[in-house]
Amino acid sequence: MKIHVYAKLKDYFQPEFELMETIGNTDELRAVLVKMNGGAGELLSSCRFAVEEGFIDKDFKLKAHDTVVIIPPSSGG
């Protein structure tokens, strides 16, 4: 599974990386990422996840060949 992270998440992870674990949904993915870098836990809890250019919810079934984009919250003005 390919992972792409943006903004503040790049302080905790490479912008693009692959995971070899079998991951079923976003809750499992978030847990794997927290295990990789516990400091990112709070930020990951408020991130949105997307696959195929569309946002997904925690019930979306991830597949090994998916590319997952993780987008932290942003503020603008």
Q: What is the pLDDT of residue 39?
A: 97
Q: What is the pTM of this model?
A: 0.90
Residue type for position 1 = M
Domain boundaries, the chain: 2-71
Q: What is the pLDDT of residue 75?
A: 62
Only one residue has tokens 């927290």, namely 34
DSSP 19: -
How many whole angstroms separate alpha carbon 55 and alpha carbon 13? 21
How many whole angstroms separate alpha carbon 74 and alpha carbon 26? 20
- Terminal C-alpha separation, the chain: 35
Give domain 2-71's CATH architecture.
Roll (3.10)
For 3, 59, 68, the CA distances from 17, given in Å and listed in that order, are: 5, 23, 10
Query: Along the 77 residues of the chain, how does pLDDT read in single tens digits?
Result: 999 999 999 999 999 999 999 999 999 999 999 999 999 999 999 999 999 889 999 999 999 999 999 999 886 54
**SS3 assignment, position 43:** helix
